[in-house]
Amino acid sequence: MEVDNVKKQIYEFIKTLIISVIIAFFITRIISPVVIYGESMVPTFYHGERYFVNKLAYVNKSPERNDIVVFTCDKYGNKYLIKRVIAVAGDVVAIKNNELYVNNKKLNEPYINGPMITPDIDEIVLKDDEIFVMGDNRNNSSDSRHFGVIMKDDIVGKLILKNTK
């Protein structure tokens, strides 16, 4: 009887270990938790909120305008940054008189936190795999206006948004 009990315990331990390894693999390779730090995405996201990043979102496709992406930037070391995609490869971005233009069209941006006050930026034509990102709190965001375009390879994944219903 005691040998059967030991076998059951060993079996349960191995089963728990295998399940734990699978879950750990899933969390580290496919999705990853992220915490919002700072105010650069207010009013869309607030400091301290928790979300997940879909690390496979851009394996076979490129980011699209308005996607919320998590990426790394050499200027900030290993820190993850979270910003909105404003323009993608082939787009032309410019800022004139505190207004954002993509492909010579002024963007309607109901998600931003108040009017943007920023220096003008001459037209930037995005090359293949380049993305222009900005925070929704334009007056309190370090983004492509400061560190330039980011490369698709620097993107960790797409933020998985909360269900707002």
DSSP 151: E
Longest Cα separation, the chain: 83
Would you state the structure tokens that stand for residue 34, as one six-digit string? 């992220």
Indicate which residue of 7, 15, 20, 40 is catalytic.
Answer: 40
Residue 61's identity, in one-letter code, is: K
Q: What is the pLDDT of residues 118-160, one digit of tens each?
A: 999 999 999 999 999 999 999 999 999 999 999 999 999 999 8
- The pLDDT value recorded for residue 31 is 85
Arithmetic mean of pLDDT over the chain: 91
Q: Is 62 a catalytic residue?
A: no
Whether the CB-CB separation of 36 and 43 falls below 8 Å is answered with no
Indicate which residue of 32, 55, 83, 158 is catalytic.
Answer: 83
Average pLDDT of the segment spanning 91-113 = 95
Q: What Rg do the C-alpha atoms of the chain give, in angstroms?
A: 21
Distances in Å between the alpha carbon of 4 and those of 8, 14, 32?
6, 15, 40
pLDDT at 105 over 80: yes
DSSP 23: H
Q: What is the pLDDT of residues 36-68, one digit of tens each?
A: 999 999 999 999 999 999 999 998 999 999 999
pLDDT at 162 over 70: no
d(CA 43, CA 51): 15
pLDDT at 163 over 50: no
Q: Is 83 a catalytic residue?
A: yes
